[in-house]
Amino acid sequence: MKKILVTGGAGFLGSHLCERLVEAGHDVLCVDNYFTGSKLNIEHLLNRPNFEAMRHDVTFPLYVEVDQIYNLACPASPIHYQWDPVQTTKTSVQGAINMLGLAKRVKARVLQASTSEVYGDPEVHPQPESYWGRVNPIGFRSCYDEGKRCAETLFFDYWRQHQIEIKVMRIFNTYGPKMHPNDGRVVSNFIVQAIKNEPITIYGNGSQTRSFCYVDDLIEGMIRLMESPAEITGPINIGNPTEFTMLELASTVLKLSGSKSELIFKPLPEDDPKQRKPDIDLAKSTLNWAPNIQLEEGLSKTIAHFRKVLAASNHPAQ
């Protein structure tokens, strides 16, 4: 049994990770400031003797004794991270400094949840870890993109300078139950609009592509990276390499939900990538990892989850 800290543990990915670690018998400390995380995501764990939740903002130091740190704290959807861009950058940069400082003090292994956004609007497709990216440093998305890039820099400098055991994971589009219904991401947007039979909003002409990884596959890759030999530092792409256009995603959601929604088109947001697809050869060779859950299966589970969430919000408990 390990003592494991998960920052951002009440968020979408963090709550799934906490669940897996608790079920594996580890002693899990979930830290979250609840800006985008929700207590509802972790309430089923609160009565477990090997789970503890703490309200804390990672931009402030944290003094705990742990063996491993998963640093997931940071709003990850454009709506949330652009709401307070200065705080977003602080969370990525100062949060990384604080978690690396903690790891140095207690000699813990630490994993950084980085992002495919470090590649920006890529000129190389698919994106291998060796690609340095094409990011606008002064745009509306830069608080997130550059914050995560700086966090990676800090992780590798701490590794070289202080011999901290680091793991850096570049997360590509992930979806599944516990996503925030109003996070502005394409999967949650399409599903909520379809369930409500509202027009489905497509930005641009719908030809831009994304690859979608189901959350269970993503968490499996994250744990495998954390448990890999010390010399495997990353960065390692974790995502599903099967590519879909926005129009293909919309039509699949319509089919699976039985929705009567129509499609409407709006201008493409600034710096929105045209293509995004991971090269996962490194994850296959070093972690023996590849995604197993196909889009239709994952979307069916996610649609079922959102139906429950939306039904509960329309009929709150008295």
Q: What is the residue extent of each domain of the chain?
A: 3-175+213-241+274-293
The catalytic position among 70, 119, 144, 214 is: 144
Handedness of CA 19, 216, 154, 55 (dihedral sign): negative
pLDDT at 316 over 60: no
81 is catalytic: no
Band of the pLDDT at 13, cuts 50, 70, 90? very high
* Token pair listed for 177: 């139950």
Which residue from 29, 27, 31 is spatially nearest to 61, judged by alpha carbons?
Answer: 31
pLDDT at 7 over 70: yes
CATH superfamily of 3-175+213-241+274-293: NAD(P)-binding Rossmann-like Domain (3.40.50.720)
Handedness of CA 178, 31, 83, 85 (dihedral sign): negative
Report pLDDT digits (tens) over 155-189.
999 999 999 999 999 999 999 999 988 877 899 99
Strands 243-245 and 209-211: antiparallel
**CB count in 10 Å sphere of residue 130:** 9
Report pLDDT digits (tens) over 268-283.
776 566 778 899 999 9
Pick from 49-58, 137-146, 230-239, 247-256: least confident: 137-146
Band of the pLDDT at 153, cuts 50, 70, 90? very high
Q: What is the mean pLDDT of residues 274-294?
A: 94
Handedness of CA 204, 129, 164, 229 (dihedral sign): positive
Residue 58 near residue 101 (C-beta atoms within 8 A) = no
- Give the pLDDT score at 271: 59
Band of the pLDDT at 317, cuts 50, 70, 90? very low
For a pLDDT cut of 90, what percent of the chain falls above it? 81
